[in-house]
Amino acid sequence: MGRIIAVYGAIAGVIIVIGMQISIAVVTDHGTMGMVAGYLSMLLGMIFVFVGVKRYRDVERGGVITFWKALSVGLGISFVAALFYVLSWEVYMWQTGGTFMAEYIASNIENMRAAGKSAAEIAKFSTEMNAMAEQYKNPAFRMALTFAEILPVALLASLISAAVLRKSNVLPAVQARG
């Protein structure tokens, strides 16, 4: 089980990291488009939670798995992928000198001005975000927040995989003909 978790978690993690790097390079908007691109890469990578759980069910468990065992394998794969994501973000922050929050705040303030928001709304946003930026300088806080970003996708992929693959007649293992 550990090998399958490590291998499929690493595959999922690499896909997510590549998607994140492409998103950073291509999508200049740190707002909605950046989030959409980021979550799409997470979903794409988390397909390997399903693939890994299926492989475990078919190869290690003879085609039969309980919901809870499938969920634990899925969560293990998801955790490894999330580690890749968090560590990749930390590398990005190191490479860029930690300028993300300042750029994010400036971009949002610019968007608020363009949308005609009042000076009071912009000032309130700026104050709240500057407080958040101060917390974001703490690596433990930043890593926890980054992990929380991928957690909903990881949980969803693990739950769906466990629910679907607990039924041995769903995508049954192909038997080799001898």
Q: What is the pLDDT of residue 23?
A: 84
At 28, is the pLDDT very low, low, confident or very high (cuts 50, 70, 90)? low
User: How many whole angstroms separate alpha carbon 176 and alpha carbon 178?
Assistant: 6
Yes or no: say if 139 and 90 are a contact pair by the CB < 8 Å rule.
yes
pLDDT in tens, 90-146: 999 998 888 888 888 888 888 889 989 888 998 999 999 989 888 999 999 999 999
pTM for the model stands at 0.85
pLDDT in tens, 39-88: 899 999 999 999 999 999 999 999 999 999 999 999 999 999 999 999 99
Q: CA–CA distance from 25 to each of 48, 51, 82, 164, 178 (Å)? A: 24, 29, 21, 36, 50
Q: What is the pLDDT of residue 10?
A: 97
Q: Which token pair is 137?
A: 């300088």
Yes or no: say if 57 and 165 are a contact pair by the CB < 8 Å rule.
yes
